[in-house]
Amino acid sequence: MNKVESFRNRQAERGGAGVKFLLVALVLFLVGHAGCNYIPVAYQGESYKQEMQTAVLQGTALPATGNPVGVVKQRLQKVARESDLPPDTVIDVKQINNVISARVHYNKSINILPFGIYSRQYQFDQTVTPSGFLLKDN
Residue 63: pLDDT above 90? no
Crossing angle for the helix pair 68-82 and 16-61, to the nearest 10 degrees:
160
What's the sign of the alpha-carbon dihedral 111, 50, 54, 60? Answer: positive
Confidence at residue 11, expressed as pLDDT on a 0 to 100 scale: 65
What average pLDDT does the structure give for the chain? 86
How many Å apart are CA 2 and CA 102, to the nearest integer? 81
Confidence at residue 67, expressed as pLDDT on a 0 to 100 scale: 85
What's the average model confidence in pLDDT over 7-32?
82
Count the Cβ atoms, other than its own, within 10 Å of residue 74: 15
**Is there a contact between 34 and 113 (Cβ–Cβ < 8 Å)?**
yes
Q: Which of 52, 114, 53, 48 is nearest to 86 (CA)?
A: 48
pLDDT digits (tens, 9 = 90+) for 64-103: 677 888 989 999 999 999 998 999 999 999 988 878 899 9
